[in-house]
Amino acid sequence: MSDVMKEVEILLVEDNPTDAELCIRALKKNNLANQLVWVRDGAEALDFLFATGAYDGRQVANVPRVILLDLHLPKVDGMEVLRRVKSDERTKTIPVVVLTSSKEDRDVAESYQLGVNSYISKPVGFDAFVKTVSELGLYWLMVNHPPVAMSAGGQEAK
């Protein structure tokens, strides 16, 4: 199993190759894309997170430090991915940032009801998009302190 499969910091769930490439370039600019996995639909995201399908055998305990999630995805939409992530004990503490073109109030409200950590509408301009992704990558990977993984007995996992 590759090191990337063991130590994923960012799971990018994005079906648009242009937006994905812009995200990856913005994160690379700040040296934040070394441990990034890009999946192109909601079903693949769920397979990755729960070690099924093409990711069977991956250690589910090795969760990403942050998920960047588009809402409008093929196969399984982003809301369902968010619902599944936040309802499972193994994944519910992973920070999820919705990064989408939707500015619909109902999408924002439903995302927060499901437990999203941040909701960002994709900026239209190239420079604004790159700046936004760079800043959110820096925040979630360098500034934010994720919870320490605990074992079933309440002890810090080693």
What is the per-residue pLDDT across 131-149, written as a single tens digit (0 to 9) for each? 888 887 877 777 777 776 5
pLDDT of residue 134: 80
User: Which letter does DSSP use for residue 93 in this model?
Assistant: T
Q: Structure pTM?
A: 0.84
Is residue 132 within 8 A of residue 119, CB to CB? The reply is no
pLDDT of residue 2: 45
Which candidate, 124, 147, 127, places its Cα nearest to that of 135? 127
User: Is 153 part of a structural domain of the chain?
Assistant: no
For the chain, the domain total comes to 1
pLDDT of residue 7: 67
Question: When comparing pLDDT for 117 and 157, which is higher?
Answer: 117
Is residue 149 within 8 A of residue 61, CB to CB? The reply is yes
Q: What is the CATH number of the domain that holds 74?
A: 3.40.50.2300
pLDDT of residue 128: 82
Question: When comparing pLDDT for 135 and 112, which is higher?
Answer: 112
User: Is 54 part of a structural domain of the chain?
Assistant: yes
Q: CB within 8 A of 44, min separation 6: which ones?
A: 13, 53, 54, 75
